[in-house]
Structure 1
Amino acid sequence: MKNILLLAAFSICFYACNDGKKDSLETPSDKIKAVDSTLTTAQWIANANGYEKWKDISEIKFTFNVDRGEKHYERSWMWKPIAGEVMMVNENDTVNYNRNKVMDSIIVKSDGAFINDKYWLLAPFQIAWDEGTSFSEKKDVTAPISGEKMNQLTVVYGNEGGYTPGDAYDFFYDENYMIKEWIYREGNSEKPSMATTWEDYKNFNGIEIATMHKDSTGAFKLYFTNISVK
């Protein structure tokens, strides 16, 4: 997966203004976006999740949990984004390193896990941060798990750079630009590799985080605990 185990700009819906009435087909998300048409959909999604607060964040801690049936796995992270410091703790090891410095093979393995877990945690920000991506969009598509109608933003990562280049993600978001479901497609294949929900959003110092992700069966759960944002 691209930086995860396992923006083309959005067309604005114009409306006639000669009589001061808005097009009845305009959606709430169109109304929000019309405030500033210079932003991409990825940026709107980031902003909806509190991106303007990110500049004030000095430290974030979280535990990444995966349940598959009766099996449980977890690892905990402390990240200081400005300083580049990272600490990982799992049942076997504690690893400390700085992402701004040269990493050996052991640290690279840990950093790959960090990039994966951080992507699940902060994907709404990652799609605005990441370079070497291409975007496409659709409106009123059927979400893979709920079957509800949503808007879709697809991001495809370039074939170079990152830990697993070339992967694609389909983000399904609501009228408020909040992600509700997504599909991961390894190597940009047409067939989905995984689809999960985005739910149980909680606010941490202005940052909105989906703390629970489930597949269609509920047998797979990926979730976050012990979240702290300073």
Structure 2
Amino acid sequence: MKNYILIACALVILQSCKTDKTEHQNMEPSAIPEKTPAQKIAAAYGVHNWHEVDTLEFAFNVKQDSTIFTRFWQWLPKKDKVRLISQNDTIHYNRNNIDSLALNADKAFINDKFWLLAPFNLVWDTGTTISEPQKELAPISQQMRHKITITYSNEGGYTPGDAYDIYYNNNFLIEEWVYRKANAPAPTMTTTWENNTEFKGVLLALNHKKPNQNWELFFTNVAVK
């Protein structure tokens, strides 16, 4: 009797799984939720390949006139281990256990990583609101582009309340963005998104420039493993 009950339960479970699968296969295409613009942007940059990344290395550089500032990072995202190499020091830490010595390094890491992986942060970050898409003149090119705005909540994080206006093309690739500190109406910084380069299925924009200024933020020594 006990074996009969177990077999009967197994048949019920298998039938249930089969039914769920069949129902999903028979769904009308219109019943499958369409991806949001944020999800489409993340997909265009290869977020679906991120699970294969064990190590990300990059040098974060800012050039102002003839001066260049550089920080080098190594990040193991699955373990959340970080190594910073700067002109002054080398720091190792785990983002799951940040002490006072690692706090400033982590603030820099979040900033630098955000510039590199902003398309993924559109779907990774919590505590955000993302506007409905609209078409506007991009501030640098003065061409009509799609635009969404991501706004961070006033609680948590190192820079709460910030907003980013993201201008992207029909292929869901970012061409420009506007950073507005604390969601201020006026732009804090406006830059291009240039030099999209693929690293093992992950697309990264390596260059960002301000209009009419001798300023550039760029990445070198990038490795995705």
User: Normalising by the residue count of structure 1, what TM-score does the alignment of the two structures yield?
Assistant: 0.83
Corresponding position of 1:99: 95
> SS of the residue aligned with 2:132?
strand
> SS of the residue aligned with 2:198?
strand
Inter-partner Cα distance in structure 1 for 2:202 and 2:118: 12
AA in 2 matched with 1:116:
N
Q: CA shift at 1:36, angstroms? A: 6.0
Matched, 1:68 2:51: no
Larger of the two Rg values belongs to structure: 2
Deviations 1:11-33 (A, max 9, x none): xxxxxxxxxxxxxxxxxxxxxxx
Inter-partner Cα distance in structure 1 for 2:195 and 2:31: 28
Which residue of 35, 47, 56 maps to 1:51? 47
Q: Which runs of 5+ in 1 are unaligned?
A: 1-33
Which residue of 101, 106, 116 maps to 1:121? 116
Inter-partner Cα distance in structure 2 for 1:145 and 1:113: 27
Which residue of 14, 36, 41 maps to 1:40? 36
Matched, 1:215 2:210: yes
Within 5 Å, which residues of 2 pair with 1:159-198? Answer: 159-198=154-193
Deviations 1:171-228 (A, max 9, x none): 0000010011000000001000000000000000000000000000141100000000
Within 5 Å, which residues of 2 pair with 1:80-99? Answer: 80-99=76-95
Matched, 1:202 2:202: no
AA in 1 matched with 2:89:
D
Check whether the contact 2:37–2:133 (CA below 8 A) recurs between aligned residues: no
Inter-partner Cα distance in structure 1 for 2:55 and 2:73: 10
Which residue of 107, 110, 115 maps to 1:112? 107
Inter-partner Cα distance in structure 2 for 1:94 and 1:47: 34
> SS of the residue aligned with 2:157?
coil
AA in 2 matched with 1:43:
Q
Inter-partner Cα distance in structure 2 for 1:137 and 1:191: 20
Corresponding position of 1:140: 135
Identify the range of structure 1 (185-194 vs 216-225) with the bigger mean alpha-carbon deviation.
Answer: 216-225
What is the identity percentage for the equivalent residue pairs of Structure 1 and Structure 2? 45
| Stretches of 4+ aligned residues off by more than 6 angstroms | none
> SS of the residue aligned with 2:134?
strand
Corresponding position of 1:153: 148
Deviations 1:120-149 (A, max 9, x none): 000000111000101113432100111111
AA in 1 matched with 2:71:
R
The structure whose RCO (Cα within 8 Å, separation 6+) is larger is: 1
Q: CA shift at 1:40, angstroms? A: 1.6
User: Normalising by the residue count of structure 2, what TM-score does the alignment of the two structures yield?
Assistant: 0.84
Deviations 1:30-51 (A, max 9, x none): xxxx896432211111000001
Inter-partner Cα distance in structure 2 for 1:140 and 1:108: 39
CA RMSD, Structure 1 to Structure 2 (Å) = 1.4
Identify the range of structure 1 (140-149 vs 187-196) with the bigger mean alpha-carbon deviation.
Answer: 140-149
Pair 88,159 (structure 1): closer, same or farther in 2 beyond 3 Å: same
Inter-partner Cα distance in structure 1 for 2:206 and 2:213: 15
AA in 2 matched with 1:51:
V
Q: Which of the two has greater helix per residue?
A: 2
